[in-house]
Amino acid sequence: MRGDLSRLLDRNVVRVERIGGGRNSQVYKVADDRADVFALKIYFHHPADPRDRLGTEYDSFSYLWANGFRDVPRPVAKDPSRSWAVYAFVDGERIPPGQIDAAGLSLAVDFLGRLRELSRLPGSRPLGLASEACFAPGLIVQNVRQRLQRLCATASETASQRDLHRFLTDDFAPLLTLIARWSEARLLTAGASFTQELDWRQRTLSPSDFGFHNALRRRDGGIIFLDFEYFGWDDPAKLISDFLLHPAMNLSLALGKTFTSAILRRFSGGPALMGRVAAVYPLIGLKWVMIMLNEFLSASFQRRQFAAVEAPDLSALQMQQLAKARHLLQRLRQEYQHFPYCE
């Protein structure tokens, strides 16, 4: 590996050290003989998943750097044939959910606000769509139903698999029908459409998987945002809902309200955007329930195995994810008619 990296970087690499990774990748710390340090990211690829995670992330970071963003990693080199990308090493620490504060939220809102401003530039228009971007609430429901069908088609041989199928049939599917009808009725009452796609002028560039779970805090207090493998154009209401609902964030009610108020001001969306967020939020929540259950799908578990430093226990992981899915579904059942993050 060192020889190949030396040729890619045109310098003498003397050390390569595994330091972890996300859910889709392996990450290594790379040092050369001049004491320069880099991060090597090796991306997972599966034949059933055509997404170009490497190309999307490397190109998005390159575009952001070209437009003055300095709170994302600096791209250095890539080798798509090996699924390698090299970035400048970020000397920082992960941010546990309990350490998220108003100052950090302000940095996140500022970052998203600058992305919104960048979205208005003609040079941004050719960029691709965010992964699973949905510009109409009805398309979110369609996506959730497709995920539900995939999970319903899995085996029911083990105890965890049988528990999954009971959950999908008895709990998830009925609430999906109920919330989809409620969301459509709410939008119609507000004079909005459940099926019409959002106009380009109302869309925004989005990291898609954005939050402090994908960030490092530097020694000077600044934050570097990571993992833009799903970057692209998306619905601002989906972006806001994802940030509030992401299970790795675990935002408090107070911080969720602070974020919502600040991002609505920064996006200048007014009541129309607020109404769209309230109608889309529970649909995105249902999608997150489905995402939590990806460990029951073979391709997703293979990705987890690829990224993990230690081999995960499949049965234990599935039961853990099913418990999380039950908890989120119960939360959505209680709050879907009343968006909880209004001031």
Examine the domain organization and report whether 19 and 131 are in the same domain.
no
pLDDT digits (tens, 9 = 90+) for 164-217: 999 999 999 999 999 999 999 999 998 999 999 999 999 999 999 999 999 999
Task: Provide the residue range defining the domain that includes 248.
Answer: 94-335
Cβ contacts of 309 within 8 Å, gap of 6 or more: 18, 20, 21
8 Å CB contact between 116 and 266:
yes
Closest CA to 241 of 157, 149, 341: 341
Check which CATH number belongs to the domain holding 19 and give it: 3.30.200.20
Examine the domain organization and report whether 160 and 281 are in the same domain.
yes
Q: Which residues of 241-271 are buried (b: 16+ CB within 10 A; e: fewer)?
A: bbbbbbbebebeeebbbbbbebbbeebebee
Final residue before a domain boundary, out of 41, 68, 89: 89
pTM of the model: 0.92
The CB-side HSE value for 333 (13 A sphere, CA atoms) comes to 11
Token digits of residue 333: 């059942």
Examine the domain organization and report whether 259 and 305 are in the same domain.
yes
pLDDT digits (tens, 9 = 90+) for 218-256: 988 899 999 999 999 999 999 999 999 999 888 999 999
Examine the domain organization and report whether 29 and 45 are in the same domain.
yes
Query: Distance between CA atoms of 14 and 6, rounded to whole angstroms?
Result: 9
Total number of domains in the chain: 2
Examine the domain organization and report whether 227 and 313 are in the same domain.
yes
Is residue 167, in this structure, part of any structural domain at all?
A: yes
Residues in the chain: 343
Residue 313 bridge partners (DSSP) = none
Final residue before a domain boundary, out of 89, 122, 138: 89
Q: Which residues of the chain have pLDDT under 70?
A: 21-22, 300-301, 303-311, 343
